[in-house]
Amino acid sequence: MTPESPMDSTASEKKHNERAYVTFLAGNGDYVKGAVGLAKGLRKVKSAYPLIVAILPDVPEEHREILRSQGCVVREIEPVYPPEIQDAYARAYYIINYSKLRIWKFEEYSKMIYLDAGIQVYDNIDDLFDMEDGYLHGVLSCFCEKIWSYLPLYSIGWCQYRPEVTWPAEMESLPPPPYFNAGMFVFEPNPLTYESLLHTLQITPPTPFAEQDFLNMFFAKVFKPVPPVYNLILSVLWRHPGSVNLETVKVVHYCPPGAKPWRYTGEEPNMDREDVKMLIKQWWDIYNDESLDFKAKSAADLKENLSVSTIIASVPRPSVICLSPPAPPAA
């Protein structure tokens, strides 16, 4: 099922503090550094809202303690598995990202902003919480990297960042609908939406970009774009030079190969660019800044940070949403 129209819900009546940022973490790898960097980045820009880290059971206790020590609310979720077609994905690890669907169950929050752990926030984006209710808001993707080469739009040079390239008439089809990058999006948790997401996933064939493709399909009728400054996909710097002023960028998504700051060597393509080096340095400046470490106001605050997700998760919240079945995805 997919939302047809804006929700007529009680979300707008909920209190100001029922908002939060949320990120996702799996396994025992070094992505925990990204989550820590994100927590410190949100603190640097003086965000008014907490960071929830949705973790899978395989995240070790050591990493959980690191997150808690940085003021994050750690919340364990169970994995979500799609239909068993393991070779359908552009990158093998994308399959685990379907577990992000669990965040729609965090219904104690009226509105949340998802941020990938490979993202850093360089300016306050709390204003996104005030985006119109009933819609999913995100930044349009760029289709110019080779990983998109399986699509016809890649060969004809069509991209959402290139309005001068029109959709060829000989394609005998409409141009693709708006498509957002799932590294950042604004959404409203809802139990009916959550159940519909899980049900629809089980009858939807997997596609190369896993949960990103799925979310674009599911929310197609209620998606609204926000400016690229809220999720600068790093490859836009070389694919569409001049399209974004770095001085106005609020969020940087370190998603191309070799761009994760904690793994950066500068050896991968485009990683030796001066603007990329500058953005890598800015990430490390935040990560290494001890003044941005979480400081509990009292021992009670720290204890609350460790247990708040368990307490508030047990409090039900009423909500209403209209749902209807989607059309099957195009072949």
The catalytic residues are 100
Decide if 240 contacts 142 (C-beta within 8 A): yes
Decide if 141 contacts 159 (C-beta within 8 A): no
Pairing of strands 51-55, 73-76: parallel
Decide if 195 contacts 107 (C-beta within 8 A): no
CB atoms near residue 216 (< 10 Å): 23
- Can you tell me which residue has the tokens 């503090």? 17
Calpha distance 189→137 (Å, rounded): 13
* Burial state string for 167-182 with b = 16 or more CB within 10 A and e = fewer than 16: eeeeeeeeeeeebbbb
